[in-house]
């Protein structure tokens, strides 16, 4: 279908293709490897399409819905406990509405998103955000526990080596938080840094002088 649409859009040198995937593209669901793989493939395919079709004036983006209240979902026979289990990890504590996904489609189809292509929009009530924050918190806690053990053993930290690999964590002070932090490069080309503080994240567009 995307190929057929692209041929017509090419004639007018403009167009917007919106593919619907799922948060299963970026989150693992036990027992649904086939579903997760297919949705992940759709996201990857859409990124390739965005690069290939951009010279033709065609934008390609993806929407990853979470738990959405659709006729198919409503017909599924679930117990109250099962329904509560589904809503438990969602910060908004409800399923999304089909209209809310449609609104995201309208945005990506309009000129309001004219500088967006190859992007993935998540419409999930915060489900993926919660999982991400838990992972970051776990990583930060592991670092703090390791440092505490090292301190108890009487070890001392030495000055950082002059040269480090791009992916190697660097210790420093996050001025926004006034607390020890670990800076990890998110892209050498972009020169960006993600700073993991004490349970907080600071995404920088430019590296702090202390992390160069």
Note the pLDDT of residue 82: 78
Distance between CA 16 and CA 60 in Å, rounded? 6
The SS3 assignment for 53 reads: helix
The C-alpha angle with vertex 16 and arms to 14 and 17, in degrees rounded to 5, equals 135
**pTM of this structure:** 0.63
Contacts of 67 (CB under 8 A, 6+ apart): 73, 86, 87, 90, 95, 96, 124, 125, 127
| Residue 35 annotated in active site | yes
For all residues of the chain together, what is the average pLDDT? 75
With a cut of 90, say whether residue 58 has pLDDT above it. Answer: yes
Task: Return the minimum-mean-pLDDT range out of 9-23, 130-144, 184-198.
Answer: 184-198
* Range with top average pLDDT, 77-81, 140-144, 181-185: 77-81
Res 46: pLDDT: 97
The active-site residue out of 35, 115, 196, 211 is 35
pLDDT at 81: 82
């Amino acid at each position: 279908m995307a190929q057929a649409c692209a041929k017509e859009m090419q004639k007018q040198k403009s167009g917007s293709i919106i593919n619907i995937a799922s948060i299963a593209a970026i989150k693992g669901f036990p027992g649904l490897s086939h579903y997760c793989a297919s949705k992940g493939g759709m996201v990857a395919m859409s990124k390739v399409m965005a690069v290939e079709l951009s010279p033709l004036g065609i934008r390609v983006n993806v929407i990853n819905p979470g738990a959405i209240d659709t006729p198919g979902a409503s017909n599924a026979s679930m117990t109250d406990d099962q329904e509560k289990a589904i809503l438990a990890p969602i910060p908004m504590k409800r399923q999304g509405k089909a209209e809310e996904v449609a609104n995201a489609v309208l945005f990506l189809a309009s000129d309001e998103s004219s500088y967006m292509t190859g992007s993935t929009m998540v419409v999930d009530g915060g489900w993926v955000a919660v999982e991400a924050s838990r992972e970051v918190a776990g990583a930060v806690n592991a670092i703090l526990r390791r440092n505490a053990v090292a301190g108890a053993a009487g070890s001392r930290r030495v000055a950082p080596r002059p040269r480090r690999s791009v992916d190697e964590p660097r210790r420093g002070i996050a001025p926004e938080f006034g607390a020890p932090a670990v800076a990890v490069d998110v892209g050498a080309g972009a020169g960006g840094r993600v700073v993991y503080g004490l349970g907080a994240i600071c995404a920088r567009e430019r590296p702090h002088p202390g992390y160069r």
